[in-house]
Amino acid sequence: MFNRRAIEDIKDWYQQNTRKPLVIRGARQVGKTTAVRLAAEQLSVKVIEVNLERHTELEPLFQRYKMDELLFNFSLMTGDQITRDSNIILFLDEAQATPSAYPCLRYFSEEMPGLAVILTGSLLDQVLSDVNLPTPVGRIEPYFMGPLTFVEFLFAIGCQVVITIERFSFSNGFCWRVERFAIGMISPPIFFDALSTK
C-alpha cells in the first residue's frame, strides 16, 4: 500500500483541538475508505465503521436527529460502546444510501464536538442534488479526494526525483522534461522513443 496525501490530511484533521465532522467526497475506488482506515491505524485510534448502505433502517433516526439513539444503534451493530466523548473515529461510510446522515452532521458537531466523525459517499453529491435536505453550513469540514496524483504516483514507484519535482515551477520547458520522464516510467521504451523525437 502506498501513501496518499489524504491520509496525512485526515490525521491533521483528527489532531485539531476543535474539529467538525469530516465529509470526504470523491468517485468510487479512489481510496476514501482505505485512507480513513490507514490514517486511524497510523494514529493508533480505533475506527468504528458503519456502512450505511447495509443499514438503511437508520434513516428515520437520522431524519429525526435522534443522536443518543443513533449512538446506541451504532454500539449494538458494531459491538463497541460509543459515547459522545469516545476516543475513536466514527466512520459513516456509503452515506449516499442514507441521505439524512448528511444534515444530521450538524448535531454531531453541536452536541458531540468531542466525537470524531467522518462521513463518506461516492454518489453523495448526486443524491444531495436529487433530495431536498438542509446543508450543515459551517458545521462540517468538506474534503475532496481525487484519483492518484502524479506526485503520489512517483512516490508509489519509489522515484527519488519526486522531491526535486515538487520544488520546481513548471516553466521554461521543465514541464516537457517531466512529461518525457513520466512516459518513460510507465511506457515501454519503444513507445517512449517514438514520442521523444522532438
Beta partners for residue 92, in sequence order: 50, 119
pLDDT at 123 over 50: yes
Angle at 191 between CA 188 and CA 192, to 5 degrees: 85
Q: How confident is the model at residue 195 (pLDDT cuts 50, 70, 90)?
A: very low
What one-letter code names the amino acid at 6?
A
Give residue 190's pLDDT. 43
Task: Name residue, grid cell 489532531.
Answer: 15
Q: What is the DSSP string of 66-104?
A: -HHHHHHHHHHHHSS---TT-SEEEEEE-GGGSTTHHHH
How does pLDDT run across 74-110, given as a tens digit for each residue?
Answer: 999 999 999 998 999 999 999 988 989 999 999 999 9
pTM, full prediction: 0.79
Instruction: Work out the average pLDDT over 21-37.
Output: 92
**117 or 190, higher pLDDT:** 117
User: Average pLDDT of the chain?
Assistant: 82
Q: How confident is the model at residue 196 (pLDDT cuts 50, 70, 90)?
A: very low
144: Cα separation from own chain's centroid: 7
Instruction: Work out the average pLDDT over 142-167.
Output: 73
Q: How confident is the model at residue 183 (pLDDT cuts 50, 70, 90)?
A: low
